[in-house]
Amino acid sequence: MTATASQPPQLARAISENDRYAAQFDRSSLPLPPGRKLAVLACMDARLTVEDALGLRTGDAHIIRNAGGLATDDAIRSLVIRQHLLGTEEVIVVEHTGCGMLTFEDEPVRQQIATATGTTVDLTFHSFRNLEENLAAQVERIRAHPWIKDVPVSGVIYEVESGRLRHIA
């Protein structure tokens, strides 16, 4: 596909970059199940490049990302699929220092969005106050789920200041 002037600028750039990527693409023979039998649940923060931080290559792991690296119902759904249908055998939850989820409370954000849009916001943002406690809670939620069994579930904090990982749970 070729980028056109009518496309939004970031889409045009992405398509242009994809042309370069596709020209040297050599991963068509990677198997569907991840090679390291690993699933990673991580925060969506742009400062966290999960593959680099964990030493992963394309095809090594399933990576699920959302705001906060939270074990939401949708993340759990993905973890259940990856375990029962795709054979992964371990989960690592990655949260990080300086997370935006530590900087707000749900209700004021709901009010702000309602004021800006004129629509009532029926959404839980799952902000949290303590990084270590939140990470432990996410790990425990995954471990306790009746459809995710007999796999190690670990939690680490990525330090955005140093690039180091701290094992917490």
**What does residue 6 show for φ and ψ, rounded to 5 degrees?**
-80, -5
Residues with Cβ < 8 Å from 66, sequence gap 6 or more? 41, 43, 44, 72, 74, 75
**Residue 66 buriedness (CB in 10 A; 0-12 / 13-18 / 19+):** middle
Output the pLDDT for position 29: 85
Residues 7 and 44 in one domain: no
pTM of the full structure: 0.89
Residues 85 and 134 in one domain: yes
Q: How confident is the model at residue 54 (pLDDT cuts 50, 70, 90)?
A: very high
Q: Name the residue range of residue 71's domain.
A: 31-167
Residues 103 and 149 in one domain: yes
Whether the per-residue pLDDT at 32 is higher than 90: the answer is no
Number of domain units in the chain: 2
Higher pLDDT, 2 or 75: 75
Output the pLDDT for position 27: 85
Residues 65 and 124 in one domain: yes
Whether the per-residue pLDDT at 3 is higher than 70: the answer is no
Residues 11 and 74 in one domain: no
